[in-house]
Amino acid sequence: MRSDRLKVALTRRLPHVVEKRLDELFDVQLRDEDTPLNKKEIIDYMQDVDVLVPCISDVVDAPMVAQAGKNLKLIANFGAGFDNIDVTTALQRGILVSNTPGVVTEDTADMTMALILSVTRRIPEGIVVMQTGQWDGWSPSAFLGGRLTGRRLGILGMGRIGKAVAIRAKAFGMDIHYHNRRRLDRDLEKQYSVKYWESLDQMVARMDVLSINCPHTPSTFHLMNARRLKLLKPSAVVINTSRGEVIDENALTNMLQNEELAGAGLDVYERGREINPKLIKLKNVVLLPHMGSATHEGRIEMGEKVIINIKTFADGHRPPDQVVPSML
């Protein structure tokens, strides 16, 4: 397939340098506005293009894939995740799926530490007081939080991001533990100064901070369910910069509301933008609008991976970041 004739459609605006390069290489359908498309609009986009470039917020489910045009042969996701796409159905129809892994590692790990600090040191509360002119001056009992040094951090998911979080947490003097479906080599455990727990229940019950860094798969849906959340100490803090579906959000909200947990820092939510209204009102929660990977550098690197995946496919080869069944 010749790359200069490849038709590519973007569902959202991408960094200018990325759009410019795509336009140089392919016949690209760009967006004028950076607004979400509905399902019908995405289906329309898939009718006469060779490649669709959706973002992780764009659902491309089985019924939508079934209505794709005969020319669609690649869905090049702009994002490390791919649970927004029914990969199995796509592959059955001969449509490859690729993603952009690895480029958001440092940015997401930075945001994880930012949320840990924000919750444990009550930073948002201090910002509100200053911005509303309510500060009466320093007080020995005001805004008391807790230091990170010596606290136990449990990392759920020791992939790229989990390892990057461990490096940062070590610099803060935290005692780092992890649970993963596969244990790391002993040398890597020493390198990252982490201790392995085969039992997630046992780890959760002993942590001061729990950081969710695993992907959303059928096996991780509600991995932190009501029963497991109740194993956490009342003084514990939950941080999630991975996928909202990993936590039972209603159960978490109820525990925070009843002061059965000290706090939470969340960048992702179980139902996307539909956040539990009770969660929004809680003072012991820091909520962010899914901005863990939102850096200029990260977005450009994601775009570069999309370009490489499409260009490699256009040259007759498998995209380097193709999602394969073993990843599902």
Q: What is the pLDDT of residues 30-39, one digit of tens each?
A: 999 999 999 9
Whole-number pLDDT of residue 200: 98
**Bridging pattern class, strands 152-156 and 96-98:** unpaired
Task: Identify whether residues 123 and 213 lie together within a single domain.
Answer: yes
The two beta strands, 7-10 and 27-29, are parallel
> What percentage of the chain has pLDDT greater than the value 70?
98
* CA 323/CA 75 separation, integer angstroms: 10
- Whether residue 141 is predicted with pLDDT greater than 80 in this model: the reply is yes
Residue 201 has pLDDT above 80, yes or no: yes
Q: At what angle do helices 105-120 and 123-131 cross, to 10 degrees?
A: 70
> Encoding tokens for residue 142?
């005001």
Inform me whether the pLDDT recorded for 116 exceeds 50.
Answer: yes
Question: Is the domain of 25 the same as that of 163?
Answer: no
Least Cα distance to 208 among 232, 179, 228 occurs for: 232
Confidence at 1, pLDDT banded by 50, 70, 90: very low
Whether residue 7 contacts residue 26, with contact meaning beta carbons closer than 8 Å, is answered with yes
Closest CA to 263 of 243, 228, 234: 234
Assess whether 139 and 64 both reside in one domain.
no
Provide the token pair at 291.
């901005």
Question: 113 with 68, same domain?
Answer: no
Rounded to the nearest integer, the mean pLDDT of the chain is: 95
Contact at 8 Å (CB) between 42 and 58? yes
Compute how many other C-beta atoms are within 10 angstroms of the C-beta atom of residue 144.
9
Same domain flag for 257 and 312:
no
138 and 20 in a common domain: no
Calpha distance 320→328 (Å, rounded): 17
At residue 111, the 3 state secondary structure works out as helix
| Overall average pLDDT of the 223-250 stretch | 97
Exposed/middle/buried for residue 274 (C-beta within 10 Å: 0-12, 13-18, 19+):
exposed
Please tell me whether residues 113 and 177 are part of one structural domain.
yes
The overall pTM is greater than 0.85? yes
Q: Which of 275, 300, 257, 267 is nearest to 113 (CA)?
A: 267
Number of domains in the chain: 2
Same domain, 176 and 247: yes
- Mean pLDDT of the region 55-69: 96
Query: For residues 99 and 275, what is the distance between their CA atoms, to the nearest angstrom?
Result: 26
Q: 237 — phi, psi (to 5°)? A: -125, 140
> What pLDDT score does 5 carry?
79
Q: How many CB atoms lie within 10 A of CB 40?
A: 10
Residue 319 has pLDDT above 90, yes or no: yes
* Maximum pairwise Cα distance, the chain: 69
- Give the CATH number for residue 247: 3.40.50.720
Q: Are residues 119 and 201 in the same domain?
A: yes
pLDDT band at 328 (very low <50, low <70, confident <90, very high): low
Query: What whole-number distance in Å separates Cα of residue 325 and Cα of residue 91?
Result: 9
Residue 7 belongs to domain spanning: 3-103+295-327
Whether 112 and 212 map to the same domain: the answer is yes
Per-residue model confidence (pLDDT) at position 217? 87
CA distance 221 to 318: 30
Average pLDDT over residues 235-252: 97
Mean pLDDT of 287-291: 96
Q: What percent of the chain has pLDDT over 90?
A: 94
C-beta separation of 210 from 223 below 8 A: no
For residue 211 the two structure tokens come to 């950081």
Q: Does 22 score more than 80 pLDDT?
A: yes
Task: With beta carbons less than 8 A apart as the criterion, state whether 201 and 231 touch.
Answer: yes
Cβ neighbours around 131 below 10 Å, total: 9
Contact 249/243 with Cβ under 8 angstroms? no
pLDDT at 124: 95
Q: Is residue 127 located within the same domain as residue 272?
A: yes
Q: For position 145, what pLDDT does the model report?
A: 95
Say how far apart CA 67 and CA 61 lie, in whole Å: 10
| d(C-alpha 89, C-alpha 162), whole Å | 30
Residues 132 and 278 in one domain: yes
- pLDDT tens profile 8-17: 999 999 999 9
Asked whether the beta carbons of 94 and 71 are under 8 A apart, the reply is no
